[in-house]
Structure 1
């Protein structure tokens, strides 16, 4: 799964890319903000019976790719989560997109694209994470 995120993390001097870093390094350097981002990604990618903490800390880069501009996205194919409002002008939500609403928050699905709120628990609570995971399992 690809996540198009509007802000790249600060990397340690020893890393050329986020892929060269352990998630714990990114969290240590970038704080609670990136802990939340990586935790929500891990929860979305966790299979039944798995602990999201282990997925986040050990396997996240095997399951998730991060992009920080629309130009970095592959042309098509992989499930892509467009995070937050930053990219809506470049990649607007189609009018016929399926909507999943939980309380006052929503995600939109169209083809292999998902438009999601920012990866923060106030905007993307656990109930929405679970609803999206359930919907993705139904379509696969």
Structure 2
């Protein structure tokens, strides 16, 4: 079976997720896997390459429990219960947290960064309530320092 990108799905992961990461582009997904609630992250990485490995790795670093290695969380549990990646043109009502990643996603959702407060004085993350405008999840833009800041904010506000 060859990977193909379908246009009829707007999220990847658990429909009851507490955290939604909004991205502008979908990964290529095997047609049989497009509707799965529990995607196979290692398979998605194999089919989509290093770019998606970085996205899944940053999301795992943000969400993995403190007692678990983020690599194990990424490969075994990510997107199964607590997280989803969303490609819709609106914020999902059910998510507790909305991480809107990158300028293209901010614009698609009609969010103006000037309406949001900086998470800290030197960081690139802006926040208002349960919505965080973040850099695109790439190591150059979403540094380990930024991961720690966002992770701490989610923990303080009750994510885990």
Q: Which residue in the other structure is 2:148 paired with?
A: 130
Does structure 1 conserve the Cα–Cα contact (< 8 Å) formed by 2:118 and 2:124?
A: no
* Structure 2 residue ranges without an equivalent (≥5): 1-18
Out of 32, 36, 43, which is 1:25 matched to?
43
Paired with 1:75 and 1:119, the residues of 2 have a C-alpha distance of: 23
Matched, 1:114 2:115: no
In structure 2, the residue corresponding to 1:75 is in which secondary structure? coil
Does structure 1 conserve the Cα–Cα contact (< 8 Å) formed by 2:117 and 2:126?
A: yes
Paired with 2:74 and 2:106, the residues of 1 have a C-alpha distance of: 27
In structure 1, the residue corresponding to 2:125 is in which secondary structure? strand
Question: Number of paired residues?
Answer: 137
Q: Normalising by structure 1, report the TM-score.
A: 0.87
Q: Normalising by structure 2, report the TM-score.
A: 0.77
In structure 2, the residue corresponding to 1:2 is in which secondary structure? strand
Does structure 2 conserve the Cα–Cα contact (< 8 Å) formed by 1:11 and 1:17?
A: no
User: Which structure is higher in helix share?
Assistant: 1
How far off its partner does 1:16 sit?
2.2
Q: Which residue in the other structure is 1:91 paired with?
A: 111
For each residue in 1:10-44, what CA deviation from the matched residue of structure 2 results, as whole angstroms up to 9, or x when unmatched?
00243123645310111000000000000000000
Q: Which residue in the other structure is 2:77 paired with?
A: 59
Shift of the 106–18 alpha-carbon distance from structure 1 to 2, 3 Å rule, reads farther
C-alpha RMSD of the superposition: 1.9
* Structure 1 residue ranges without an equivalent (≥5): none
Of stretches 27-36 and 8-17 in structure 1, the one that deviates more from structure 2 is 8-17
